[in-house]
Structure 1
Amino acid sequence: MSIPRLPVHSPAQVAPAAPPTWRDRWRRRREVARARIEMEETLERDQLQALLSAARAYVETSWIQGAWFAVRTDDGRERLVRGGSALLIDDARIVGSCLVGAIIRAGGGTGAVQEQPVQRALDAVWHALNAPEGVPVQWGPPPMTRMQHVRDLTRWNDREAESAAEVASLLLTAERVVMSEAR
């Protein structure tokens, strides 16, 4: 059996490739930048959906009203933690959380409350509760507006939500909002 031979071209027969023009280089940089942005958006969307899903699991297993968190004290009792002290607690002691508390827990705990994933999750949930379907989410509202949104979500959890299932349903709606934003 013989090995087939490939034709050999002399250097004179192969035309050298023309160097890319500035337009070609510019177009290629734009394509790479666009692909990077799409990849980052996909990763952020997946992270946001995972956060909302984890928050939903917290709500389904340990939902509370009247405070952001319930903690286990040293003597074994549960205590509700409200107000500014809610962000100073030891995350390992948390045994229950409201809607906002569940988002904070899912986003990494009280130390991550100012991180972008937690903030974006709060934006998506507030939007799911208050905006008509099809209206784009206002990502990154001004700080005072976002604080009002957190107050709205806390009030809804404490006064209007009747069950953990209702709160979990809102979080599921927020997941759908995040997916629809991607389209």
Structure 2
Amino acid sequence: MRQTIKDRLTTARGGPELRRSMRDRIRAFQRPEPQPQPRPWRGRPEEAYAVLEDARAVIARGWIQDHWFASRRSGEFGEVAAACLVGAVVHAARQSGPGDPVIRAGPALDYLWDAWQESRGLRAAGIAGLAAPRELRMARVRDLTRWNDQPGRTREQVLGLVDLAASRAVMAAVSIPR
């Protein structure tokens, strides 16, 4: 015996046919809206903070312009007598452990760039700590290097920027959902 469509619907639903509105039928075919997912944290602000604090110590010992480093003895990178902002961060990242120091310095440089934008009254992109594209990070290094090398720049201004970046890294660390 052949079932009619009405009989099939009734059997499939386990009871009498329910009339659905056109809107209900359309909703049945729509995908449910995705629930907002918490943004995954890919960076480690604690590590960026540690690099920034070590860089601060280097700058407090000696700060220079127009060069990344000044060594106590020629050719020895470990004996840095003075460094510019970016050089201090790269040196601190090198001292913090194994691996490529430029990659390890990346999140700290991002926090510095965001802090620089904030100090200028601009809202930063807020991507510090995330995996920034190489080209973007290099552009930020150039910006920070130019800022460091501006005539009239002082060590206190550079230390102030490092302090602001370090405070932003701390705030990021305490606001990460665990």
TM-score, shorter chain, exceeding 0.5: yes
* Matched residue, 2:55: 55
The one-letter amino acid paired with 1:137 is I
Deviation at 1:140, TM superposition (A): 2.3
Distance 1:49 1:173, change over 3 A: same
Deviation at 1:93, TM superposition (A): 3.8
For the Cα contact (< 8 Å) 1:136–1:181, is it kept in 2?
Answer: no
Measured in 1, the distance between the counterparts of 2:152 and 2:111 equals 18
* Matched residue, 1:91: 77
In the alignment, is residue 113 of structure 1 matched against residue 97 of structure 2? Answer: no
> Which one has a larger percent helix, Structure 1 or Structure 2?
1
Deviation at 1:145, TM superposition (A): 1.2
Number of equivalences: 129
Structure-to-structure mapping, 1:64-83, within 5 angstroms: 64-73=64-73
Measured in 2, the distance between the counterparts of 1:170 and 1:147 equals 19
Distance 1:59 1:169, change over 3 A: same
Deviations 1:158-181 (A, max 9, x none): 016621111011011001111232
The one-letter amino acid paired with 1:119 is G
What percent of counterpart residues are identical?
31
Paired residue secondary structure (2:67): coil
Distance 1:134 1:72, change over 3 A: closer
Runs of 4+ with deviation above 3 angstroms: 131-135
Provide the alpha-carbon RMSD of the alignment: 2.7
Measured in 2, the distance between the counterparts of 1:164 and 1:134 equals 23
Paired residue secondary structure (1:50): helix
Measured in 2, the distance between the counterparts of 1:91 and 1:121 equals 20
Measured in 2, the distance between the counterparts of 1:149 and 1:161 equals 21
Paired residue secondary structure (2:94): coil
Unaligned runs of 5+ in 2: 1-39
Paired residue secondary structure (2:113): helix
Structure-to-structure mapping, 1:34-49, within 5 angstroms: 44-49=44-49
The one-letter amino acid paired with 2:154 is S
* Higher mean C-alpha deviation, range 57-66 or range 131-140: 131-140
* Matched residue, 2:131: 140
Which protein is bigger by CA-based radius of gyration? 2
TM-score, normalised via structure 2 length: 0.62
Measured in 2, the distance between the counterparts of 1:54 and 1:137 equals 22
